[in-house]
Amino acid sequence: MALKPPVTDLNIKVSKDGFYEGFSKGTTVGSKIIIIGLVLWAAVFPEQAGALLLKIRGWSFESFGPWYIYAMAFVVFLCLVLAVFPSIGKVRLGGVDAKPEFSRFSWFSMMFGAGIGIGMLTFSTAEPIYHFASNPDTIIGAVAPESAETLRSVYKWSFFHWGLTAWSCYGIVGLALAFFSYNRNLPLTIRSGLTPFFGRKMEGVAGDLVDISAVIATILGIAVTIGYGITQFASGLSIITGADWMLNSEGAPTNSAMLLGLGVIMAASILSAASGVRKGIKWLSNINMVLSFALLAFFLVFGSPFVAIQSFFVGIADYIVNFPVQAMTYWANSNVEPAATLYKWQSVWWTVFYWAWWIAFAPFVGLFFARISRGRTIREYVLGTMILPSIMCFIWFTVVGGTAIDLELTGKAGGAILSAGQEAQLFATLKVMVGSGLFKLLTFMVAILLMTYLVTSADSGILILNTILSGGDEGQKAKRHIIFWGSAVTIVITVLLLAGGLGAIKSAMLLGALPFSAIMVLMGLALIKALARDAMRLKKGEELVKPEVRKLDDQPA
């Protein structure tokens, strides 16, 4: 008996004319109502909004911490199995005749820049330095903090947070969307990834709710990333300009400095998004990679290369050996030490927060990955979206973070890096390395790199928002819609910063991450079902769906 044919089209209703021409009104208006409601609430009642968001954050971590831990472990396992399984790994996204649109360098550059690039500049120094002082191994007394013996545990945990797990949630969302869009001819939007379970129900209100969830998660995920980036960008600007008003009495960037940085970044992002994927985003991504390699080369020559090389290889070995236990371990809340501190470390400060952050970013990054990955095999896709970016992160953390730790261990830094704020630790490391003469020039270079990474993340996000809201239409949208969503992201970040600083932005992000985490897991299961059904069809001698030939239209409307 022949298998039931898969869904190969979704009739997503879009407006034929007017302001919303080409857009799904239900998804677009619903998303706008939620975002405008959040903005008004945070603007009119900033203190109450900030306090309530912090309460929601604590409740989310305590109630759903295990869910985040085990859901992410499942996604890593699934991605690796899909790549390794012979008959699945060779499946080509877009059919056997599909050709990649971008070179491997541009493809990887765009993925890395959109997915995590900005985090490298903030956390490649900040996270190793933090774990150097406190991590689960120091909390339980296995190693002494701030000692040479701590180095291995530093990278065991840093690699865990920035390795396969982070990239797997991007990878599974992008892979599901690419398969259902390019192999099943469905629209390139989140709801398409659930059709194996819900079929044509995804054409109506249920599908609108799925896409709205993705839009909200995307906006709040971008807000966290931009929020972290502009604090470091503002810190760099204060060094370059010497303007006292940019820093408060504690040496952290003022709200005024961060809002100035936000205005510059988002204005450039809107202009870049208006130029499309092939122009603005592609060229910015290539610039990012060139500047990144230049900064890495500087650290390798003038930093601590032997510490970096040793930490890289030992860290990868420790990561591989310890990953299964780390991925499946959850420390529950407790009033007894060290369990109480372990819970805070994992759920409040690091792991669970990170998993929520990656999930909130997944609809945007995943859809972007799908959009630029037509013509790649599943095995090549997983290698490009999980393995290579993880290795790139490991290099950054060992070269840059390893130098910072070595400068503290040898006494050259004298506590200057450890005592600096998270946003200033990279600059503090550079200052110890080169002194005041070359320091401003290097700070300027980092500020430019920060700006290009921030713009790449933001403009990619704006384009993806419009793709979701238009029912998966990959073509360039009218500039008024690009301006609106670019402005919306800017306003969301502004009001949340004023309501409660970066903490309020991080708390709001959880409102989008939690519902999308369930959608992400369902997308992974739906992909398994679809691939298994295709394997059964081939075994029975039945023909698979013939992919349509598509070409990305980047011409402005």
SS3 labels along 299-323: HHHHCCHHHHHHHHHHHHHHHHHHH
CA-to-CA separations, 540 to 2, 142, 525, 527, 543, in angstroms, rounded: 8, 57, 23, 20, 9
d(CA 388, CA 384): 6
Handedness of CA 189, 224, 30, 213 (dihedral sign): positive
Q: Could you tell me how far CA 479 lies from the centroid of its own chain?
A: 25
d(CA 381, CA 176): 11
Angle, CA 260 vertex, CA 281 and CA 437 arms, to 5°: 85
For residues 288 and 481, the answer to whether their CB atoms sit within 8 Å is no
Helices (H), 147-248: 151-162, 164-182, 195-198, 205-241
The string of pLDDT tens digits covering residues 166-203 is: 899 999 999 999 999 999 999 999 999 999 999 999 99
Angle, CA 166 vertex, CA 164 and CA 167 arms, to 5°: 65
For residues 240 and 445, the answer to whether their CB atoms sit within 8 Å is no
Least confident of 77-91, 212-226, 336-350, 487-501: 487-501
With left for phi above 0 and alpha for psi between -120 and 50, is residue 55 left, alpha or beta? alpha
8-state DSSP, 551: -
Average pLDDT taken over every residue of the chain: 86
pLDDT at position 554 over 50: no
Confidence grade of residue 280 (pLDDT, cut at 50, 70, 90) = low
State the pLDDT at residue 523: 96
pLDDT at position 115 over 80: no
Type of residue at 38: L
* CATH code 1.10.10 for 29-536: no
Per the listing, tokens 């956390």 go with 123
Q: Per-residue DSSP letters for 438-489? A: HHHHHHHHHHHHHHHHHHHHHHHHHHHHHHHHTTS--SPPPHHHHHHHHHHH
State the pLDDT at residue 553: 46
Domain layout of the chain by residue ranges: 29-536
Return the percentage of the chain with pLDDT > 90, whole number.
39
The string of pLDDT tens digits covering residues 321-334 is: 999 999 999 999 88
**510 vs 465 pLDDT, higher one:** 465
The string of pLDDT tens digits covering residues 424-459 is: 899 999 999 987 778 888 999 888 888 887 887 777
Which residues make Cβ contacts (< 8 Å) with residue 431, sequence separation at least 6? 416, 439
Dig out the tokens for 87 from the structure: 């008959």
State the pLDDT at residue 378: 93
0.85 surpassed by pTM: yes
